[in-house]
Structure 1
């Protein structure tokens, strides 16, 4: 029986008279950012559930997190520091002490700085945890890296930056409406988002709208779980969404259904944009997107006559060469229809910017003695094999499994194999990336450390209190970096502040969204909604653009070298249909989120791996028949960058010319020692150095019958 409710975040306060409830938050790279409660008995976590009273979490976790306690206590978890004793890639290590591990790191980093300068150090952080103390949202370790003059690390580029920049040219920021306001919409466009797999807590708000008569449209090249539950599904060719948006707007304008009053009062550059829209009649858009012209017209008419219309777009939509422009154009639709001015209307891409975190005090840029270069997460292979002046000589990887998750896998493996590269991996499990480490450090998991979280799909923040003591010798990222600073002889007190001190600084802001929100309140209540109205409309007092209006014509975009108007930028590979590349590799490959993994997290969890099964690739029956491939056949998926092995699934859930697989499998789980990222180009999207995972052409052949080009 639960006799004590514990919200202070100090596991040492546990009572022996009954169970203790410790409030926390899910750390993973998901818009839902769930709040949870851990049941602790005799110092051990025995239960985990979503917080019932949280308006977004509503008591439910996802299929991935329901078994999180067994993941934390997995027998193969890393518990002690290790040192490599074999060749890089062999994965042979010996146990060492923390003093030996930190001492080795300190000596190597000091030698690197002395020989090459601080920029030869690349602190490579991923989205394994999103926390502001331990994770990527707060750039954990930023103070130390600034003090050392290390290269900056751009982690956002791999996930969302292209779309964020694109939408900001239109409305001034990358954020939009409160996702909860979808319950007030009469038409909901789920555009490039598989809500039931990657954002399932939003579904209850969509269902609330449907009960009031809302119509749900899924726009996705794949017939996903979400598409199956929608009232209508449109499957455009990958990367052509901006063209579809312009075609829909063409229908609206031809009907005279644009909101002229809203446009006159709240937008800039309408006449120029109207001329651009005129260039995309439904007939042209049908040819670009592969959709029937009649369906484009019908949806355009539905949008024109339905107020309010809400659009939910997420990050997969912008992972191609025109990704930034895609979000720029989609964000313009509510400007034409006036839905930005209606409760339940508008677009949401991310809500992360609504938390006005005091990152300046967290990062302490004043510790930098001079400007340093920025290295991009998506170009790790290039950085390790081609970069000079200085070359990367020390690589510190944390919250990331790049050998599984980053484009151009073969080039990354080549770079990680360099004997002159000193590599440290801070991890929970023995990943493929760990095999190439010189030093491996065991990190705490979410039940064992303090952290501060928001969500990029809602307007709540949460305090994650440590519920149990760490197993073995695992340490939080914050403590690892404090120990490293000390071993390197750094004496600035900013490098040694406690986790609670750091959290208080993150919350020190005069922004009205944080009014009344303190660390003490979060520790007591577990989670709070940011101090925005509820219901909330974001741009009632104007748009945070230079003009104060929604900018169809953006001088900022023009100054940055981009088209000042929303438009359509084709994907680099996916839009090619008649060139030599398409002849060699005729299938466009999409690598979407797994229902059972979160990026590469959980791909080693036995029960979830069983549910996910082996890597698969879905082919339309026409494409499968041309290659004499049957359902269940073992096939090789390849291009001139690399290849991977998968089981064929033959289904009309994809259209002819499009193939689909799921991301997240570890390379070592395949007989080819690779996954889908062996085929993905180390190339940038149009804005922000975004990744191009969905701008990828391949061919598929039966294993044993392939005539694959030399890779």
Structure 2
């Protein structure tokens, strides 16, 4: 039997897949050949997904902690006992501290609308309890906010239109390791390819040209390129006049960023900036692919805001194959409000930021956080300031419930652990943020042991709490129909995917001057905001791994073997200055923390920059990972994370 499904992981490609089932067992998994983006291929990580599903290490039964927090010592209990204990503890916390003392912490372990973060499963129940709202700031919020200031949407161009481009700039993105299906459209284009990345990645090596600016200087570089375009008179005066607001003021801002000044900011040769600016000036259509990594610094939102302006100056927004692709999420018009039912709130509640977890657990204003539900997340492995997160989770007065598939670093700090179903075992709906397709996931097999879907877990807990609101007990299919109001659900379910119609970009006139940005306390004009972590040391970039996806697969034995030991790449000049040779054991540190690694000496990074990858578990990496060194502070827009605004020192161990 063949069952259509969808990859739920935090990747732009949201692949459609086909599960082969024999005698109730999933025996095969492949990409759906009929899907225009998946085209039959999965990635090196997801090719091993059935190993994850059937792993002997998978959590299969509810558990209660019996050792100290962090020890990972648990005993098996029944679902009745688990639900009774959770209901009793929540009731007591609400009676003493109020509902806002509860924090449902959703992660990107699944991007499903029914089971994952896009739909916040359990939100209806938590709303009735008056729990704090969770704001998912770890991924793309700074860039999304910046693009909305400029374009009125973050939706961007249809990625399939890259096949029509003549010049493609891959800005801070490495699709051959993360979201590789875009590469097929890039190859189809025959375009001249430029990689802009502080690290020479797998993708950079396949491009015609690679520029390596200092991390966090992307907005300055974009303004410098625009300076060249405008100096050559190559700006599209007709598009600017008809489709933009604030051009005279923005033109004056562009004049400030001469190639000479931008070279000093970015560390790039002036002639390289001029040459790329000239190429942009004479090449239509030009397309830019920018991903989330480049906006994880102090000026990340502003950087995307400037990038959104660039196709407005050149007129590429009006040309098929021209424009910018960051995330297509803004094009999906789904009724997620019907899923979340914030109308069930008894009163307004506070919002807690995902990337300020340590701060909130240790220093929350208002009622203290007394109960934490961690859902499809591993904040010990994924959040900034790992030490503070661990300190917060170690509080004996914090009641922590974790829903997961494996015994992650975060599970070790739980009081109650609940086993969750995996993608072939439940119903879900996905929307790609790297394409324009809805994707359906049909359950293919029964879950092992006593695993429950996230939705069923909260239905059962709602009953145990004595809640009578009918909306708490809607089935997964009912939830899907509420979400997909206006779409043909039956067709989606039968075909496995359905392309949506993209909205206009820009949505209205492009805002070179943004009143909304000014009202929020920002510069009304696009500009450059320098990195906040400045001074001595090396700027550390922690990019996506070719073998892990966030911290998913961090325990997979084969993928861990392929990934090898935790490493840090140093330029030969920086390594020599520290007496470090290739293969040396080193410690990477700053005032926030440290982690162990093995040195790789290579010119893949520019001087002053060090490169590593994210996704490792602390328990397999000497007790700490790269996030031990990352600051728990906000980017410029939206409270985004600053993983790449991070200076460290590297020394021999």
Alignment TM-score > 0.5, same fold:
yes
Equivalenced residue count is 653
The residue that corresponds to 1:232 in the other structure is: 209
The residue that corresponds to 2:302 in the other structure is: 325
Residue 173 (1) aligns with residue 150 (2): no
The residue that corresponds to 2:86 in the other structure is: 105
Residue 617 of structure 1: which of 521, 544, 568 is its match? Answer: 568
Deviation at residue 199 of structure 1 after TM alignment: 1.4
Residue 29 of structure 2: which of 45, 48, 62 is its match? Answer: 48
Tell me if the contact between 1:80 and 1:442 (Cα under 8 Å) persists in the aligned partners.
yes
The residue that corresponds to 2:525 in the other structure is: 565
Secondary structure of 2:71's match?
coil
Residue 602 (1) aligns with residue 516 (2): no
Secondary structure of 1:196's match?
coil
Residue 205 (1) aligns with residue 185 (2): yes
Residue 686 (1) aligns with residue 642 (2): no
Question: What does residue range 238-257 of structure 1 map to in structure 2 within 5 Å?
Answer: 238-257=215-234
Residue 674 of structure 1: which of 587, 609, 624 is its match? Answer: 624
Q: 2: CA distance between counterparts of 1:684 and 1:530?
A: 33
Secondary structure of 2:389's match?
helix
Secondary structure of 1:198's match?
coil
Residue 55 of structure 2: which of 53, 63, 74 is its match? Answer: 74
Q: 2: CA distance between counterparts of 1:554 and 1:408?
A: 33
Deviation at residue 70 of structure 1 after TM alignment: 1.1
Tell me if the contact between 1:50 and 1:58 (Cα under 8 Å) persists in the aligned partners.
yes
Q: 1: CA distance between counterparts of 2:407 and 2:34?
A: 37
The residue that corresponds to 1:463 in the other structure is: 440
Deviation at residue 35 of structure 1 after TM alignment: 0.1
RMSD of aligned C-alpha atoms? 0.8
Residue 495 (1) aligns with residue 472 (2): yes
The residue that corresponds to 1:158 in the other structure is: 138
Residue 556 (1) aligns with residue 547 (2): no
Tell me if the contact between 1:175 and 1:350 (Cα under 8 Å) persists in the aligned partners.
yes
Q: 1: CA distance between counterparts of 2:342 and 2:118?
A: 16
Deviation at residue 104 of structure 1 after TM alignment: 0.6
Q: 2: CA distance between counterparts of 1:161 and 1:388?
A: 23
The residue that corresponds to 1:483 in the other structure is: 460
Q: 2: CA distance between counterparts of 1:518 and 1:426?
A: 32
TM-score (norm 2): 0.99
The residue that corresponds to 1:433 in the other structure is: 410
Which has the higher mean CA deviation after the structures are superposed, 382-391 or 313-322?
382-391
Q: 2: CA distance between counterparts of 1:205 and 1:527?
A: 19
Residue 521 of structure 1: which of 478, 483, 491 is its match? Answer: 491
Q: 2: CA distance between counterparts of 1:360 and 1:441?
A: 27
- Structure 2 spans left out of the alignment, 5+ residues: none
Task: Map Cα deviations across residues 619-672 of structure 1 (whole Å, 9 max, x no partner).
Answer: 00001111111111110000000000001000000011100000010011122x
Tell me if the contact between 1:522 and 1:528 (Cα under 8 Å) persists in the aligned partners.
yes
The residue that corresponds to 1:514 in the other structure is: none
The residue that corresponds to 2:11 in the other structure is: 30
Deviation at residue 524 of structure 1 after TM alignment: 1.1
- Structure 1 spans left out of the alignment, 5+ residues: 1-19, 510-516, 577-581, 704-711
Secondary structure of 1:115's match?
helix
Deviation at residue 355 of structure 1 after TM alignment: 1.5
Deviation at residue 521 of structure 1 after TM alignment: 1.4
Secondary structure of 1:600's match?
coil
Tell me if the contact between 1:84 and 1:93 (Cα under 8 Å) persists in the aligned partners.
yes
Task: Map Cα deviations across residues 200-236 of structure 1 (whole Å, 9 max, x no partner).
Answer: 10001000111xxx20000000000000000000000
Q: 1: CA distance between counterparts of 2:250 and 2:424?
A: 51
Q: 2: CA distance between counterparts of 1:349 and 1:449?
A: 30
The residue that corresponds to 2:504 in the other structure is: 538
Q: 1: CA distance between counterparts of 2:260 and 2:240?
A: 26
Task: Map Cα deviations across residues 334-353 of structure 1 (whole Å, 9 max, x no partner).
Answer: 00000000000000110012
Q: 2: CA distance between counterparts of 1:410 and 1:525?
A: 47
Question: What does residue range 7-406 of structure 1 map to in structure 2 within 5 Å?
Answer: 20-155=1-136, 157-210=137-190, 214-406=191-383
Deviation at residue 530 of structure 1 after TM alignment: 1.3
Secondary structure of 1:76's match?
coil
Q: 1: CA distance between counterparts of 2:330 and 2:215?
A: 28
Deviation at residue 22 of structure 1 after TM alignment: 0.3
Tell me if the contact between 1:177 and 1:538 (Cα under 8 Å) persists in the aligned partners.
no
The residue that corresponds to 1:423 in the other structure is: 400
Structure 1 stretches (4+) deviating beyond 2 angstroms? Answer: none
Deviation at residue 587 of structure 1 after TM alignment: 0.5
Q: 2: CA distance between counterparts of 1:681 and 1:44?
A: 45
Tell me if the contact between 1:29 and 1:130 (Cα under 8 Å) persists in the aligned partners.
yes
Q: 1: CA distance between counterparts of 2:575 and 2:460?
A: 56
Tell me if the contact between 1:37 and 1:49 (Cα under 8 Å) persists in the aligned partners.
yes
Task: Map Cα deviations across residues 3-28 of structure 1 (whole Å, 9 max, x no partner).
Answer: xxxxxxxxxxxxxxxxx000000000
TM-score (norm 1): 0.91
Secondary structure of 1:31's match?
coil
Deviation at residue 388 of structure 1 after TM alignment: 3.7
Tell me if the contact between 1:504 and 1:518 (Cα under 8 Å) persists in the aligned partners.
no
Q: 2: CA distance between counterparts of 1:361 and 1:690?
A: 26
Tell me if the contact between 1:109 and 1:394 (Cα under 8 Å) persists in the aligned partners.
yes
Tell me if the contact between 1:176 and 1:351 (Cα under 8 Å) persists in the aligned partners.
yes
Deviation at residue 52 of structure 1 after TM alignment: 0.5
The residue that corresponds to 1:656 in the other structure is: 607
